[in-house]
Structure 1
Amino acid sequence: MKFTIQREQLTNAINIVSKAVSSRTTIPILTGIKIVAHEDGITLTASDSDISIEQYVPMESGEHQWIEDITPGSVVLPSKFLGEIVRKLPGEQVTISVNERFITTISSGRSEFNLNGMNAEDYPCLPQIEEDKILSLPSDLLKTMIRQTVFAVATTETRPILTGVMWELRDGQLSLVATDSHRLTTRKASVESAASLSFDNVVIPGKSLIELSKVLPDDDQLVDLVITDNQILVKINYILFYSRILDGTYPDTSRIIPQNTKTEIILSTKEFLGAIERASLLAREGKNNIVRLFTRPDGMVEISSNTPEVGKVTEEVAPSSVDGEDVKISFNAKYMIDALRAVDSENIRIGFTGAMSPFIIRPTEHDWILHLILPVRTNQ
């Protein structure tokens, strides 16, 4: 195998696929990146068996010639060294050649490296996916939906199914749901799909979605999602992103969302977020990062936290409106901060149903997002 490629193109491709390389794998070949040279371009592949990413670099694109002098072949090179070497090479072009013992020469300008490669035939094959369930949506929308939900997945493996985000498609409406059993977030959007296409209980690991988000462009180009029983494939330009789907049944979260509220408060998102962040400066020194909220007779909302060994903070926030019974409630400040940062609305509506009942945060400008937080029982 031999080819000469623009260094910038190779660097970009390595950066993308290396997101799927695991440093903790017990399978040595998975610490490498598979490179296959075809007559019309090269393909780079990396996998940690949960996520697999494949990037194709064409020989030419438009007026640009990216690759020259291709002799087809394949090799697996250690990711740890390949990326560093290519990034630090002096020239604008890189020539890679591989002999029959997989010893690989990487040269650019006056610099030359020899790396011990591995046989690409020993590299696990990517999943073969039947493309019968295809869903298309803009890249920036998918990226936003991931950002607005993935923070709420569980970070411990006590209930593995909760470490993922549940996807559901009905009547052209895509819903993403995440919960760690202390908080919940949902995000909905209308998407393009065949009228007959619907699915539920597709649970994608949060870690996979975080890596997918890094690969997705920030523009509105359409990306295709293909869903099977145990894999999801996302097609972005010349990139294929595979992730396994978690086994198990996601809990029915609709039952825990209160249908009626006793109190509703409308607040400025930015002002309320600032108050919670300041209150949590002292609260996070305690065990649970607890902040308290209560409504006062003068119509103000008071935010406070009290950590005996550190000190106390109190702040008033002026709501746009307060409707209903008085509220006195305690909650985890981090959960509230995460929700407020994800809400994408100037004002929020918070609905309370009681001191120990879940409360709901919604944007006032649209109904795509819903956050639910369980309050915390305190002695004060």
Structure 2
Amino acid sequence: MRFTIQRDKLIASVQDVMKAISSRTVIPILTGMKIEVRQHGVTLTGSDSDISIESYIPAEDEDKVYVENIEDGTIVLQAKYFPEIVRKLPEAQVDIVVDEQFNVKITSGKSEFNLNGQSADEYPHLPQVETENSFEMPIDLLKSMIKQTVFAVSTMETRPILTGVNIKLEDQKLVFTATDSHRLAKREVPVTGTNVSIEQVVVPGKSLNELYKILNDSEETVEISVTNNQILFRTEHLNFLSRLLDGNYPETSRLIPDHSKTTIQIKTTPLLRSIERASLLAKEERNNVVKFTSNDDGVIQISSNSPEIGNVEEEVTADEINGENLKISFSSKYMIDALKAIEYDEVVIEFTGAMRPFIICPVENDSILQLILPVRTY
């Protein structure tokens, strides 16, 4: 096997595939990276049995030659060394030659490395995901849905199902929901041109975080396919496969209040900045709690008190306040996360009392919803 490849293309693919390779895997060959060379191009594969990533480099694309001098073959290379070698090679082209004994010679300019490779025969085959149950959507939209929900997954392994994002597709409406039982993030988007329905799948938050980093903004759409225990995200040059979490996701719709006693419309950035400042003195062991008080004159007081350190008081003017005056305490971290995820200039916050969950939505857009449970401070 041999091939000559553009180094920058190889580096980009290697970095993508490395996101699926773990040194802690129980299958020794999965600590390596599989390289498959065919006349039409080179495919790199990494897997930790939770997620698997395939990155494809075409031999030619739009009249540009990326791979040449191709002799077909497959090899598994040690992922501990190969990425660093590629990154530090001196020239724009890399020549890789593999002999019968899986000895690998990597040459670039006057630099030559010799590595011991492994036969790819033992490398597990990735499961084939049926593409009948699949739909397409714009990459930028998928990335924004991940960003607006994945931060709210649980980091506690006590309820594994909550460490994932619940994905549902019904009546051409795609819904992402994440909760750690103290807060909830939800995003809905219409998906046209498909009759596919996905009852409920839960994708590990870790997988979606890696997918978010790896998806290339320059490509336009991603195809999503689901089977019993796997989900596949496919673009022109990338296959990203993740296992699904087992179990029933809790019914979250009943958590969302259907009425409110106090409604506040306010600009996102000033509110976010004042909560960030108030959180500087919020005590760690009390969940970074800040107090939030609304007055008749449209001014909101945000305060935090830590007996050993000191206290802070802030005032923010709301654009509109309707309903009862309110005193409520909540985790500043949860509020900061929610406001950052919304990405709109103005939000509406709906409260139903000091000890009831409250919701935050962009003004005139209820497709993005953040819900936070308050904290008792008395």
Same fold (TM over 0.5): yes
CA distance in 2 between counterparts of 1:126 and 1:365 reads: 44
CA change 1:71–1:219 in 2 (3 A) is: closer
SS of residue matched to 1:247? coil
CA distance in 2 between counterparts of 1:276 and 1:15 reads: 37
Q: 1:6·1:94 contact (CA, 8 Å) conserved in 2? A: yes
TM-fit CA distance, 1:5: 0.8
SS of residue matched to 1:334? helix
Aligned to 1:201: 200
TM-fit CA distance, 1:284: 4.7
TM-fit CA distance, 1:193: 4.2
Q: 1:262·1:353 contact (CA, 8 Å) conserved in 2? A: yes
Per-residue CA deviation, residues 11-47 of structure 1 (Å, 9 max, x unaligned), is 1110111111112212221111100111221111000
1:31 aligns with 2:31: yes
CA distance in 1 between counterparts of 2:283 and 2:90 reads: 48
Aligned to 2:180: 180
Aligned to 1:165: 165
SS of residue matched to 1:12? helix
SS of residue matched to 2:80? helix
TM-fit CA distance, 1:287: 3.1
TM-fit CA distance, 1:298: 3.2
Aligned to 1:119: 119
CA distance in 2 between counterparts of 1:40 and 1:344 reads: 42
1:130 aligns with 2:130: yes
Q: 1:140·1:220 contact (CA, 8 Å) conserved in 2? A: no
CA distance in 1 between counterparts of 2:345 and 2:370 reads: 16
Aligned to 1:290: 289
CA distance in 2 between counterparts of 1:377 and 1:285 reads: 15
Q: Following superposition of structure 1 onto structure 2, how do residues 1-380 of structure 1 map, counting pairs within 5 Å?
A: 1-195=1-195, 197-219=196-218, 221-379=220-378
TM-score by length of 2: 0.98
SS of residue matched to 2:23? coil
User: Percent of counterpart pairs with the same letter?
Assistant: 54
SS of residue matched to 2:246? coil
Q: 2:264·2:320 contact (CA, 8 Å) conserved in 1? A: yes
TM-fit CA distance, 1:121: 0.7
* One-letter identity of the residue aligned with 1:235: R
Q: 2:219·2:235 contact (CA, 8 Å) conserved in 1? A: no
CA distance in 2 between counterparts of 1:185 and 1:234 reads: 22
CA distance in 1 between counterparts of 2:356 and 2:89 reads: 59
CA change 1:299–1:179 in 2 (3 A) is: same
Please, which runs of 5 or more residues in structure 2 have no aligned partner? none
TM-fit CA distance, 1:107: 0.7
SS of residue matched to 1:278? helix
SS of residue matched to 2:130? coil
What do you get for the CA RMSD once the two structures are aligned?
Answer: 1.1
Q: 1:36·1:75 contact (CA, 8 Å) conserved in 2? A: yes
Q: 2:298·2:319 contact (CA, 8 Å) conserved in 1? A: no
CA distance in 2 between counterparts of 1:257 and 1:367 reads: 12
Per-residue CA deviation, residues 239-297 of structure 1 (Å, 9 max, x unaligned), is 11100111111000001110001111111101100110000011154531000001124
SS of residue matched to 1:354? coil
CA distance in 2 between counterparts of 1:232 and 1:312 reads: 48
Q: 1:345·1:365 contact (CA, 8 Å) conserved in 2? A: no
Q: 1:141·1:220 contact (CA, 8 Å) conserved in 2? A: no
Please, which runs of 5 or more residues in structure 1 have no aligned partner? none
CA distance in 2 between counterparts of 1:90 and 1:219 reads: 27
Show structure 1 runs of 4+ deviating over 6 A.
Answer: none
CA distance in 2 between counterparts of 1:146 and 1:33 reads: 27
CA distance in 2 between counterparts of 1:228 and 1:339 reads: 31
CA distance in 2 between counterparts of 1:191 and 1:245 reads: 22
CA distance in 1 between counterparts of 2:315 and 2:90 reads: 58
CA distance in 1 between counterparts of 2:299 and 2:226 reads: 49
